[in-house]
């Protein structure tokens, strides 16, 4: 078993462990337990913070912070071992035995049978005050110092230490994704006519590199042949400084991102992801928002103006309308038709290319007719300068 954990309370009568009761001919690595273990009152069985009984098996790069109670043999990490090896492990939970004065009680392990080895293993001697021949007792302060473990040959690619993770004790880098890099609240998606603004707050941050924003566009289906299927990355802390995290901080801050590449009247889904400094991603929230449609008709001033040779003309529709837009010269003669079609409510932009025309003053006019016959018309001036 690898890359597993338990945070539940384990109760039982026989071999009891927070993660596994009996490990026979197996291998446990990169695992941990944080739940309480209650081994009952039956003698002859083993109780451990991670594993109850470990025979012809190995435990490596694992730990337990479980509180353990029960009959001997009993240990903070493993109750009893037989023909087994334990390496690069630690236990820091309280251990209490139902039989006062028993010799088969240990901060790390309770009892060993036949051939067994414990290599570079530790327990908290500030919490466990009994005698044990398994592992090395260290103070709480020592067990919260990375040097204690690296001096014993533990790898920093496997283990890390942070004051804000695992109560300051070493954590397993590969399985720490169950602990959110951030505690975040107040997720909000606010829509305008041409934009969506996402905002959120962090209460605290732990090894937080930053955030990714993913968007699912309207009418996309996961598994289809469309190049924009499902959620796709639209912004990242790697290229947007406003999305960079604070690293480790007991207090957080407010974050926001405005997406300008949306269409009026469409509904979008957004996922906010946190990314830890070791590259682990975690989805924090998924928000759905419908982009507002304009409340009134409007013809916007072209930009740039004056222009050479192209300019952009914008207009907005509050309802489905039959739209025409035409360009006229200074004498009122029609130059070109830019739009002639029915369009849904929304904001539109059209580019006018003046390459074929002479410098001078021109006018652009929009006419929009709703299905109920109500209409809108407006004219603005533009200046082509070559």
Beta strand residue intervals within 192-242, DSSP E: 196-216, 231-236
Give the model confidence (pLDDT) of 288-314 as tens digits: 999 988 989 999 999 999 999 999 999
Closest CA to 323 of 307, 344, 303: 344
pLDDT of 119: 95
User: Which pLDDT band, with edges at 50, 70 and 90, does 42 fall under?
Assistant: low
Contacts of 168 (CB under 8 A, 6+ apart): 144, 161, 162
Domains of the chain in start order, with CATH, are: 5-177 (no CATH), 182-290 (2.60.40.10), 298-384 (2.60.40.1220)
- pLDDT tens digit string along 140-158? 999 999 999 999 999 988 8
Q: Convert the pLDDT of each residue in 161-197 to its tens digit.
A: 877 678 889 988 777 544 556 778 889 999 988 899 9
Report the largest interatomic distance among the alpha carbons of the chain, rounded to a whole angstrom.
109
Supply the DSSP symbol for 2. Answer: B
Model confidence at 226: pLDDT above 80: no
pLDDT at 228 over 80: no
Q: Quick check: pTM over 0.75?
A: no
| Mean pLDDT, rounded, for 8-17 | 84
pLDDT tens column, 51-70: 999 999 999 999 999 999 98
CA separation (Å) from 175 to 41, 44, 159, 256, 358? 34, 34, 10, 29, 68
For 328-373, the pLDDT digits (tens) are 999 999 999 999 999 988 889 999 999 999 999 999 999 999 999 9
Mean pLDDT over each residue of the chain, to the nearest integer: 88
Q: In the 3-class helix/strand/coil scheme, how is 275-296 assigned residue by residue?
A: EECCCCEEEEEEEEEECCCCCC
């Amino acid at each position: 078993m690898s890359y597993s954990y338990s945070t539940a309370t384990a109760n039982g009568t026989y071999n009891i462990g927070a993660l596994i009761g009996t490990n026979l001919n197996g291998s446990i690595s990169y695992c941990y337990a944080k739940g309480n273990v209650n081994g009952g009152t039956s003698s002859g069985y083993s109780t451990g913070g991670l594993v109850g009984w470990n025979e012809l098996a190995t435990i490596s790069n694992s730990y337990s912070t479980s509180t353990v109670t029960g009959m001997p043999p009993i240990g903070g990490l493993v109750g009893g071992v037989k023909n087994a090896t334990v390496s690069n492990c630690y236990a820091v939970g309280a251990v209490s035995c139902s039989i006062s004065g028993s010799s088969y009680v240990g901060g790390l392990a309770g009892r060993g049978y036949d051939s067994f080895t414990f290599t570079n293993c530790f327990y908290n001697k500030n919490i466990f005050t009994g005698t044990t021949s398994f592992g090395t007792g260290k103070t709480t302060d020592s067990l919260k110092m990375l040097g204690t473990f690296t001096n014993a040959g533990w790898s920093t690619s496997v283990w890390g230490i942070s004051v804000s993770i695992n109560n300051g004790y070493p954590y397993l880098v590969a399985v720490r994704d169950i602990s959110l890099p951030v505690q975040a609240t107040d997720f909000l998606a606010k829509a305008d006519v041409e934009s969506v603004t996402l905002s959120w707050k962090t209460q605290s941050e732990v090894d937080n590199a930053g955030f990714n924003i993913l968007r699912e566009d309207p009418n996309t289906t996961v598994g289809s042949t469309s190049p924009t299927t499902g959620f796709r990355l639209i912004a990242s802390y790697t290229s947007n400084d406003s999305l960079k995290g604070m690293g480790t901080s007991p207090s957080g801050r407010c974050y926001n991102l405005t997406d300008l590449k949306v269409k009026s009247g469409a509904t979008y889904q957004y996922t906010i992801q946190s990314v830890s400094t070791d590259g682990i991603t975690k989805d924090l929230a998924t928000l759905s928002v419908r982009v507002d449609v304009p409340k009134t008709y409007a013809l916007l001033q072209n930009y740039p103006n004056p222009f050479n040779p192209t300019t952009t003309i914008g207009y907005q529709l509050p309802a489905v309308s039959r739209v025409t837009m035409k360009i006229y010269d200074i004498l009122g003669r029609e130059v070109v038709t830019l739009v002639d079609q029915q369009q849904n409510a929304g904001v539109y932009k059209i580019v006018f290319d003046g390459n074929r025309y002479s410098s001078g003053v021109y006018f652009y006019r929009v006419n929009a007719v709703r299905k109920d016959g109500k209409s809108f018309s407006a004219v603005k001036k533009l200046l082509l300068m070559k």
